[in-house]
């Protein structure tokens, strides 16, 4: 009987590992800048940091927006995101857009994480 318990534990661990690996294999991530937001069409345009490739993604109704202030995340409000983009571009004319990490499957974004800018270290003199 004890040998069956060990076998069940190994099987359960294998199933969990397989689920985690397969789940992460289907989702892709883009690290880049959100440059355009279209609330009417529920689309965002993202420019990847490494390649400067532009991608247009449809924002899913269940997509989450994670910010440094709201780490748990909430549903994406594209109108607020568009306002945030406008403010970022007004604040800095050279700004590419909002720095973000977008998790997507195909052309559908499921999670948008706003990445906070790192503040320069102030040296005490």
Q: pLDDT tens, 62-105?
A: 889 988 888 888 888 899 999 989 998 888 878 888 899 999 88
Q: What local confidence, expressed as pLDDT, does residue 69 receive?
A: 86
Q: Does the pTM exceed 0.85?
A: no
Helix, strand, coil share (%) of the chain residues, nearest 5: 30, 40, 30
Q: What local confidence, expressed as pLDDT, does residue 123 receive?
A: 47
Q: Is the confidence at residue 120, as pLDDT, over 60?
A: no
Scanning 64-115, the segments in alpha helix (DSSP H) are: 78-91
Q: Tell me phi and psi for residue 29, to 5 degrees.
A: -125, 140
Looking at residues 102-116, what average pLDDT do you find?
88
Q: Is the confidence at residue 113, as pLDDT, over 50?
A: yes
Q: What is the CATH number of domain 28-114?
A: 2.40.50.320
Q: Is the confidence at residue 36, as pLDDT, over 60?
A: yes
The rounded mean pLDDT for the chain is 83
């Amino acid at each position: 009987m004890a040998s069956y318990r060990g076998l069940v534990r190994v099987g359960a661990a294998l199933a969990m590992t397989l689920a985690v690996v397969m789940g992460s294999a289907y989702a892709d991530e883009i690290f880049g800048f959100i440059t355009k937001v279209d609330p009417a069409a529920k689309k965002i345009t993202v420019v990847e940091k490494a390649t400067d490739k532009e991608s247009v993604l449809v924002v899913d109704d269940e997509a989450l927006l994670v910010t440094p202030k709201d780490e748990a995340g909430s549903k994406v409000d594209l109108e607020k995101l568009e306002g945030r983009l406008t403010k970022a571009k007004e604040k800095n004319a050279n700004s590419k857009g909002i720095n973000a990490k977008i998790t997507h499957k195909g052309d559908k974004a499921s999670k948008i994480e706003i990445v906070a800018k790192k503040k320069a270290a102030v040296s005490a003199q």
